[in-house]
Amino acid sequence: METSTVLYVLSALLILVGLAGTVLPALPGLPLMFAGMLLAAWVGDFREIGVWIIVALGVLTAVSIAVDLLATLLGAKRVGASRWAMVGAAIGTFAGLFFGIPGLLAGPFIGAVAGEMISGKELRDASRTGFATWLGLAIGAALKLALAFAMLAIFLVAFYVD
């Protein structure tokens, strides 16, 4: 098999894994997509995918990272989440990976609530913080998914349209 074909296949795999990573928190979704798109552009000597398209995709990737961090922090900080809530949400998100979609939905909430209770809050306040943290994560994931599809559309249009 020709080297460029192997690299294009690797590029496609990076893009697909990155797309999955926009909803699976253990994977750096948009950075993986960007890496795949950059690889495809490089393999094609930047003929189909020009440097300015790569710059635009890089900016969208940076925006996605900022959105991810800000959505989570704003959701949690809005209700006064402790550091323990953030740690709990991260652990809950990771643990939720092993329980499929229900785990991905419930894990961050349960983790944030447990973290708040460890820090001394009552269940009612901890639940409110858990919900706000979960909502921040959900909004961040939705925005990342929208950015991922925008990046994919830009990439495909640049690749297939002269």
Question: For 71-118, how does the pLDDT look when each residue is reduced to its tens digit (9 = 90+)?
Answer: 766 766 677 788 888 888 888 888 887 887 788 788 888 999 999 999
Give the per-residue pLDDT at 72. 65
* pLDDT classification of 14: cutoffs 50, 70, 90: very high
Give the per-residue pLDDT at 76. 67
Q: Is the pLDDT of residue 27 over 80?
A: no
Classify residue 46 by its DSSP letter. Answer: T
1-39 in b/e form (b: 16+ CB < 10 A) is eeeeeeebeebeebbebbbebbeebebbbbbbbbbbbbb
Give the per-residue pLDDT at 80. 76
User: Could you give the CA distance from residue 46 to residue 78 in angstroms, rounded to a whole number?
Assistant: 44
Q: Which of 32-41, 46-55, 61-70 has the lowest mean pLDDT?
A: 61-70
When comparing pLDDT for 115 and 25, which is higher?
Answer: 115
| Domain boundaries of the chain, sorted by first residue | 3-160
User: Could you give the CA distance from residue 22 to residue 105 in angstroms, rounded to a whole number?
Assistant: 14
**Average pLDDT of the segment spanning 50-72:** 87
CA angle 113, 114, 115 (to 5 degrees): 90
**Average pLDDT of the segment spanning 113-134:** 90
Q: Is the pLDDT of residue 26 over 70?
A: no
Question: For 32-45, how does the pLDDT look when each residue is reduced to its tens digit (9 = 90+)?
Answer: 999 999 999 999 99
Give the per-residue pLDDT at 155. 95
Question: For 130-142, how does the pLDDT look when each residue is reduced to its tens digit (9 = 90+)?
Answer: 888 888 778 878 8
